[in-house]
Amino acid sequence: MTGYLWLVWYEAPARSAIRHWTLAVTYEANDRAYATVYEVAIDSSGHYQSRVTRRVHLTSNHPSGAYNGKILLGEINDNVLCSLEPYSETAAELVNSRNRKRGPGAQTCHDWAMIIVRSLEDSMLLPQGALACVEKCPRIG
């Protein structure tokens, strides 16, 4: 079965604050589709933890802010769907590792998403240019 991978971003709490990014998978390419949402969130110790939420409308609001936009990154197959949770966990570990070396907040959910998209694109599981599209998405307020 073919799914669709989206980058979704939400309103920032202030103009100078960062927007929260998530990756979402749907089986339909429309706004009414239900999605499985992959994201990282900061825990009480300041580390990013991977989180998966199922059966969320693609354009629903997020606890961190109102839905603001999305881009379709490409079609993905079942093999990719099975790998997204481990990809998310590994990307969270990489972000946490870099933050330990460079300081808290050096890397964010944006870096987490780009690590995953770069890996999928390098493996030819997403179309060429997906990472370039992600890099252009709004990050701040």
What pLDDT is stored for residue 44 in this prediction?
A: 85
Q: When comparing pLDDT for 2 and 53, which is higher?
A: 53
Could you report the per-residue pLDDT of 66-120, keeping only the tens digit for each? 999 999 999 999 888 888 999 999 999 999 999 888 876 677 899 999 999 999 9
Going from N- to C-terminal start, the domains of the chain cover: 3-135
| pTM tops 0.75, yes or no | yes
Q: Which two tokens stand for residue 9?
A: 């971003």
User: What percent of the chain is helix, strand and coil (3-state, nearest 5)?
Assistant: 30, 35, 35
| 15-58 residue pLDDT tens | 999 999 999 999 999 888 999 999 999 988 889 999 999 999 99
Instruction: Write a three-state SS string for 85-98.
Output: HHHHHHHHHHHHHH
